[in-house]
Structure formats: C-alpha cells, structure tokens
Chains A and B, each alone.
Chain A
Amino acid sequence: MKLEIGRIFIKDIQLGSETSVKSGVLTVDESGLIAKLKEDERIKDVKIDVARPGEKVRIIPVKDVIEPRVKIEGGLNGFPGVTAKPAQCGEGRTQVLYGAAVVTVGDIVGFQEGVIDMWGEGAKWTPFSQTYNLTVDINVIDGIDPHTHEEIVRIAGLRAAEFIGQAGKDVTPDEVLTFEIGSVFEETAKYPNLPKVLYAEMMITQGLLHDTYIYGVNAQTILPAVLHPNEELDSAVISGNCVAACDKITTYQHQNNSVILDLYAEHGKEINFMGCIMAPEHTTLAGKFRVSDYTVKLAKLLGADAVVVSEEGYGNPDSDLLMICKKCEKAGIKTVLITDECAGRDGMSQPLADTAVEAVAVVSTGNVSHVITVEPAEKVIGKAESIAVLAGGWDGALAEDGTFQCELNAVIGSTSEIGFHNVTCRLY
C-alpha cells in the first residue's frame, strides 16, 4: 500500500467569500461553510471564527480537532464510511492544509472541559496552540438527546474539514511525504533480520462521549482489527471522545499519529513495522479479557517479536494496557507501553490504576495532575461558562483578576498517549 501526503504549508486563515489557498493563506467562504453545515436540519446555529498562534484567545469546550484535507488520487474524498461512501483509505495522493486545523466547539454536557489557549502559559501545553484554527461552534435544535447531539457535532466537524480541504485540490504542495509498506511476507523477505514490530493502538470505546470510529463503525462493536498504518494516516479513524481532554486522541492526532510516523521512520532500518492492531477499551472485565487475548493472538499469528502499545484515557483502560502487556510478555513478545501518569500534584504517587511486573519498558507522556496557572483571555471562543468547570476544581483555584489554576487534565492534547504533544524529557 502506497500513500502520498502532499503538504501545503498554511501561514494564515482569513474568512471571506471563497475557499482557496493563495501564497499559504487559507481563505474560507464563511457563509458557504455555514450553509453546507446547516444542510443538517438538526443544526440551529453555526458560528465560525479564527484563532491564530499568539492571539490572547481561549477556545472552550473543544470537542474535536480535525486536519483539513482533500483526496486527489485513489480512494474517495472525505471520511469514507462517514461523510463519503465506503472506500479504501491509505492509497493514492492526499493533499493536506498543513498548519491549519478545524476545531469543533460545543457543550454536549455541562462538565465538559477541553481548553486550547493560543498564547502564554496555556499555549505551552497544547500542540493546537501552534496551528491556525478555524473554530466551528455548533448549536443544535431543542429536544435532541445527548447521543444525537454528539453525533451532529462530530459529523459537522468532519464535513467542515472536508469543505475547507477542497481549497488544496489544485495547489502544488510544498512537501510530499511517501508512506509505503507491502505485505507482511514481502517486508519480511526484504528485512529478514529485523525484529517484526506491531503497534497496538488502544481506543476509548465505552459509550456516550467515550467512542472511536473506524470507517464509520463504532469500535465498541469490533474485535481488535488489523489496519495498514496508511489507513489511519489517511483518515480512517475518527474520534467521538470528548471528555479525556489531555489524553484523548483527536481525529487530527489519528491522522498524524506520532507512533505510526516514528515506527515508519525506523522501518527497514531498525525494525520491520508490520501494521496496527486497533484495540477497543471496554468497561466490562469480560471485554478487557477478550480484547487482550485477541490482540496477543493477532500478534502471534503475524509472528511479531515486539508490540508497542499506546493507551487512550486513564482509569479502567490501565487494566487493558497491562493485560495486553502481561499476555504478550508471557507469549515471548516484548512490549513497550506508552501512557500518561496520574501521579498526584507532586508527581510522586503510583501513576496507573494497575501495575504488572512485566511492564518494564514504559514511556511516560506526562503527569495529568500537574497544575498550571493561566491568565484571563481577551476573547473566548465557545462557552465562557465552561471556564468555571476548569477553575472550580478546588478552593482558591480562581483569583480575583480572573487568573486561575487547572490541571493538565483539562488541556487538549497536553499528555497525548500517542506522543503528539509538547511535553518531553531531557537528560542532564
């Protein structure tokens, strides 16, 4: 499978009367986009805005972040199985408006957090303070139940990204990346001496506000599935999760999954990267046993020497992570785990809700309990009342001048468990 990603570097977004890219400036036809989204009769009102790096703007509550793209060769444009008919992702040429992002805003329930600050201390902690963000704030008609509300906002974001992505259709990209990996047999014949490595990507799949979709299928209903890495890089995986702000994998992060990109970079050099196992995270213990058994079985069936496992969320998914680890190691398959830590404000507590002696290679992506202090914004996109959710965690969290403290937990992508974030470690 061969995929070319043509990156068109975006240096600004303007609202206007046509959708185009000229000299790196993305212009979005505001009324055209609103009309397109309001084709869904369940949407009452759409507000479009732009947030640029460095502006004193706060976006809250963020539901999802999506990279605008257009398919110009092979497959179908859009998100197959959701905004387009079913089609194979991962082949041909996709053009990306690189540096731009669609950010959906909308409170489905009152306790949603998920903040992006475009400036100052808050901006340091989220990767989406560095993108030019087109915000899409969706209000739905009365009488909509929470499940339908979530679906409306999720799909509106995808449709907005598809609409804007069209601007890149006839533009010559600034950079073209090629991703190509053949069948397991071909790659093993090419690299017989390299360790065969799989990537097991865990996904929150537990119901309202806690879901992930693959080709439009709710992953709660699947057994672990093998994906070619190109499929995820080409928009096959979509986030329906909007509560675990710091470590949820947004659709943008699926489209640019850092673990996949890093494993690709080592393919044919240090490792033979064989593909991804998409592993759902269930709430039931039976579901956790089933998924961990099945993941290990797929790894054995494919003859993997090692599996890199990334988690999504915190709490009950810690059990899945360690079950996969224990069972793989017992089967002679080495594991590397990627997870964030919930280690208390001083970082000294036991970081996960579960432990295992087999978990000896663990990459931490940061402490979600770390407290940061942020200044008041000059402009709030979304729902200013949601700031009370962030600032109301404990006595003294909110100062009189509007400065407040919150945990990294509330910041979008701050401790991304697939490594798409700003936190890092340095050796001294």
Chain B
Amino acid sequence: MRNIIISNNPLVAEKYENVFFVDGSVEETLVKVRDLVYEGHELVSHPLAASLRVLFSPYRSVIVANQCEQLNFDHAEIIEGSICKYKKHMDVRKADEANSDDYKTVDLLLLQSALNDEKGKW
C-alpha cells in the first residue's frame, strides 16, 4: 500500500481499505495527520480544502505516504499551519451538522479526485 487515508468520514472508511479511521472531529483528524508527519510520513494531499464553505465541513480526509522516511520540515509546517487556520475559523463558528450527508459525499468525491491524480505513480 503506497498511501494511507486519514479520515473521520464513514463513507471513506466503507469504500477504501487503506484508511486510518478517526472516530472524532476534523481537528482530531488533522492532529493524527500531524503526528504521522512528525513520524516521517509525507503529506500526499493538502490538509485544507480550497474554499471556506468546505472548511466548515464536519468531515475531512487527508492522504499521507505509507512509507516512513525522515521528517519533512516543509510538510510539518504545512500541517501545523493548517491546524492553526482551521482552529481560527472554527473557534467562532458552529460545524454545519445540518448538511452532514452532503459534506460526507463531497469529502469522498474530492478525495477520489486527489487519488485519481496519484494514479499510475510508484
């Protein structure tokens, strides 16, 4: 397995085998990603979404490399910065739970799109 998906989205856990499922919040998911980055796993996908509305999603999936290498400082900076940004936004907002099912679907589809980008690579 070349990659691991870190996710708190049950749809992602159902669909893929290489998932580390976080039974918790987006913040806890990002913290798990951070721990793995410090252990030497590189980020494959960026931890943040491309729009604020999706940042309010209660679900997030991030891809990291399965292989454990030396700590990549650039990646550590990206995940730390992402956690800071995420907390900054959510401190003043409620998670949008009313549209949970749609957020699950969009998180899954955006993840699939990132995985397609990774196809055919070793």
Partners in one complex: yes
Chain A interface residues (CB < 8 Å from chain B): 109-113, 146-147, 204, 206-210, 220, 243-246, 248, 281-288, 313-317, 319, 342, 344-345, 349-350, 353-354, 368-369, 388-389, 392-395, 407, 409
In the complex, what residues of A have CB within 8 A of residue B96's CB?
111, 389, 392
B32 within 8 A of A: no
Instruction: Please pick, from B88, B92, B102, the residue contacting A111 in the complex, using a CB distance under 8 A.
Output: B102
A344 and B46 contacting across the interface, CB-CB below 8 Å: no
**Across the interface, do A209 and B94 meet the contact criterion of CB distance under 8 Å?**
no
Complex CA gap A295/B86 in Å reads: 29
Which chain B residues border A282 with CB–CB below 8 Å? 114, 117
Do most interface residues of chain B lie in helix, strand or loop, or is the interface mixed?
helix
Cβ–Cβ < 8 Å partners of B42 in chain A: 285
Contact residues in B for A206 (Cβ distance below 8 Å)? 50, 110, 113-114
**Are A315 and B49 within 8 A (Cβ)?**
yes
- Tell me the complex Cα distance, A394–B84, Å: 20
Would you list which residues of chain B between 67 and 115 have a CB under 8 Å from chain A?
Answer: 75, 78, 81-82, 84-85, 88-89, 92-94, 96, 98-99, 101-103, 105-106, 109-110, 112-114
Verify A409–B53 contact, CB threshold 8 A: yes
Q: Are A342 and B85 in contact (CB under 8 A)?
A: yes
Most buried by A among B53, B78, B110: B53
Report B-chain residues with C-beta under 8 Å of the C-beta of A146.
105-106, 109
List 19 A–B pairs whose Cβ atoms lie within 8 Å, in order of A's numbering: A109-B102, A111-B56, A112-B53, A147-B109, A206-B50, A207-B110, A207-B113, A281-B50, A283-B110, A284-B46, A284-B117, A285-B45, A315-B51, A319-B46, A369-B89, A388-B98, A393-B56, A395-B94, A409-B52
Task: Give complex CA distance A148, B88 in Å.
Answer: 35
A208 to B51 CA separation, bound complex (whole angstroms):
12
**Which chain A residues border B44 with CB–CB below 8 Å?**
284-286
Knowing A109-B99, A285-B43 are in contact, say whether A315-B114 is a contact too (CB < 8 A): no
Task: Judge if B22 is at the interface, Cβ distance under 8 Å.
Answer: no
CA A109 to CA B51, docked complex, whole Å: 15
Q: A394-B94, A409-B52, A409-B53 are in contact. Are A110 and B46 (CB under 8 A)?
A: no
CB distance from A149 to the nearest CB of B (A): 11
Cβ contacts under 8 Å, B92 to chain A: 345, 394
Question: Closest residue to A211 on the B side, CB-wise?
Answer: B113
Contacts A206-B110, A286-B44, A395-B94; A315 near B102 (Cβ below 8 A): no
